[in-house]
Amino acid sequence: MTDENPNTEGQPGLVPAALFGLCPRCGARTLFAGLAKFADRCPACGLDFTTFNVGDGPAAFLTLIIGALITALAIGLELTAHPPFWLHALLWIPLTGAAVVWGLRAGKGALLAAEYQRRAGDGQAKDE
């Protein structure tokens, strides 16, 4: 993966922006106001996050990936260790919830950062 761009000095790369919810312009950790909800604007640099329309595109995609992953892990654990059913419930239900929230954050953050970087690449200061 190469998301290095000479025009994005001082801005976070796509991957750290997605993983940590960084503002795509100043790199402050301000992108999310809730668990998987964007803030209205960046309090550090004033970038308006509401102008980005990321939508719920990643949600269905993520659900499929996470569902397949968790199922594979659960089957693997069952076949190797054969734990009691309550252990499965204890393990996979919170893990699935955490994976969905984290995946949504990362997916939405990545889309917003990509959208921002593309606009910045055009040389248009559209957010002023």
**Residue 109 Cβ vs Zn ion, minimum distance, rounded to whole Å:** 13
Q: How many residues sit close enough to Zn ion to count as binding (CB under 5 A)?
A: 8
Buried/exposed code over 64-88 (b: 16+ C-beta within 10 A; e: otherwise): eebeeebeeebeeeeeeeeeeeeee
Region label for 3, one of left (φ > 0), alpha (ψ between -120 and 50) or beta (otherwise):
alpha
What residues between 51 and 70 interact with Zn ion by CB under 5 A? none
Is 23 near Zn ion (CB under 5 A)?
A: yes
- Cα–Cα distance measured from residue 74 to residue 82, given in angstroms and rounded to the nearest whole number: 10
Stretch that binds Zn ion, among 43-51, 53-61, 66-74, 117-125 (CB under 5 A): 43-51
From the list 18-26, 74-82, 86-94, 116-124, the region that binds Zn ion by CB under 5 A is 18-26
Beta strands in 1-128 (DSSP E): none
Interface contacts to Zn ion, rule CB under 5 A: 23, 25-26, 28, 42, 44-45, 47
